[in-house]
Amino acid sequence: MTIPRQIYAHRRALLALVILLLLTGCVPDQDYTPVVKQFQQSSDTLARSFEMLLTNANLVEYEHYIDTQTFDHAQLSPAEIDSRAVITPQELKLRSDTVVALAQYTSTLATLAQGKQEGKIVEDATTASTDFSTLASDAQTAAAGRHLIPSTADYAGPISSAASAAGIILGLIERHHTHEEIRESIEKNDPALSALFDTLGTESQVIYERMKSTQRAQGVLLFADYNREITQPAPNQGYLLQFSDHIKEFRRNQALVDKANPARAIAAFKKSHDALVTVILAPKDAKPHSLDELIASVKSFAAEVEPLADGVQTTNSKKDKN
């Protein structure tokens, strides 16, 4: 008896679903969709905010130099102002793209953990592979070219290691290898990805501390300007009011920057990634607990990203208005 083509199609679909469930070790009632969506949204926000923060690092240096020259009654020139930059456009893009690549890789693992359709899993894996391939090439170019951050010369190493590790894992996913092979590869190779999270977090802390230090120096000059004016035989009331406004704005910005430490958000970003890896590697009976940990980690990530985004966006808006 001939079996209708529709039955063959249903059987193939059922077989694909069974393979995906075996691959992920999940049960159908585990819905990862909300937590994955929240992770992706937080990752996108982190990438944008981190890029803005790095851009602001240069602006803070420019403004401090202008204030210093003004206070000393010294000459100014565009070239001298530009020479105070602490990060090149290429270095800035490299850091922002690192966040994007790590987010795409982690999202691919999430797609895998969800037991999505095979086509979606392969599509996400291909995108992540492309992101890391481009990132590794850009890191080599940045290390060989002009760079202002000393660690850029060493940045290519962790990126190259992470790209190779991600390539191995993602390649197995793209080529439809077994659940056990993918699990073993993640367990063996994912630490290289974790190391890149750590490198990004450590470096971002250094950049952030430099930015805060320069901002504090700006405050010193503002108070010095005000105090110098009040010692004049006839202090200019208009100048004093201007200095007063600048000091109040400086204090507001300082409070915002204090809440905009990217290292905390990146640490929470890494914790979400680690929690997802734990879900994938956990035995089936331990997955509900692992999923609870993942949900808590992603919520914590969102909570850290929010003040970073608000602080960076607010200070950036103030700079745009000035």
Residue-wise pLDDT for 25-35, tens only, equals 444 445 678 88
Judging by beta carbons within 10 Å of its beta carbon (0-12, 13-18, 19+), is residue 232 exposed, middle or buried? exposed
Residue 24 has pLDDT above 60, yes or no: no
Residue 159 CA neighbour count, 13 Å, CB half = 28
Closest CA to 99 of 257, 267, 275: 267
pLDDT at 150 over 70: yes
pLDDT of 145 strictly over 70 = yes
pLDDT at 12: 43
More confident site: 135 or 315: 135
CA distance 133 to 148: 24
Cα distances from 190 to residues 23, 40, 75, 109, 268, in angstroms, run: 18, 19, 53, 11, 17
CA distance linking residue 172 with residue 182, whole number of Å: 6
Lowest mean pLDDT among 143-147, 169-173, 278-282: 143-147
Q: Is residue 182 part of a domain?
A: yes
What range does the domain containing 169 cover?
Answer: 51-321
- Over residues 182-213, the pLDDT tens digits come to 889 999 999 999 999 999 999 889 889 998 99
Where residue 107 falls among pLDDT bands split at 50, 70, 90?
A: confident
Determine, yes or no, domain membership for 164. yes
Residue 290 lies in a domain: yes
Give domain status of residue 173, yes or no: yes
Q: What is the pLDDT of residue 63?
A: 92
Residue 236 has pLDDT above 70, yes or no: yes
State both tokens at 217: 């120096």
Q: Which tokens sit at 176?
A: 């439809």
Instruction: Count the Cβ atoms, other than its own, within 10 Å of residue 301.
Output: 26
Burial class of residue 270 (count of CB atoms within 10 Å of its CB; 0-12, 13-18, 19+) = buried
In angstroms and rounded to an integer, the radius of gyration of the C-alpha atoms of the chain is 25
Amino acid type, 25: G
Is 153 a domain residue? yes
- Is residue 115 included in any domain, yes or no? yes
| Residue 314 resides in a domain | yes
CA dist 194 and 83 (Å) reads 35
User: Does 71 reside within a domain?
Assistant: yes
Q: Based on the structure, what is the number of domains in the chain?
A: 1
- Percent of the chain past pLDDT 70, that is, above it, reads 86
Cβ-proximal residues to 82 (8 Å cutoff; 6+ apart), any chain = 62
More confident residue, 13 or 126: 126
pTM of the model: 0.79
pLDDT for residue 37: 86
Amino acid at 52: M
Confidence grade of residue 81 (pLDDT, cut at 50, 70, 90): very high
Pairwise pLDDT comparison (153 vs 212), residue with the higher score: 212
pLDDT confidence band for 320 (50 / 70 / 90): low
Q: Where would I find the H helices in the chain?
A: 5-24, 33-71, 78-82, 89-114, 118-144, 152-174, 179-230, 237-258, 262-281, 287-321
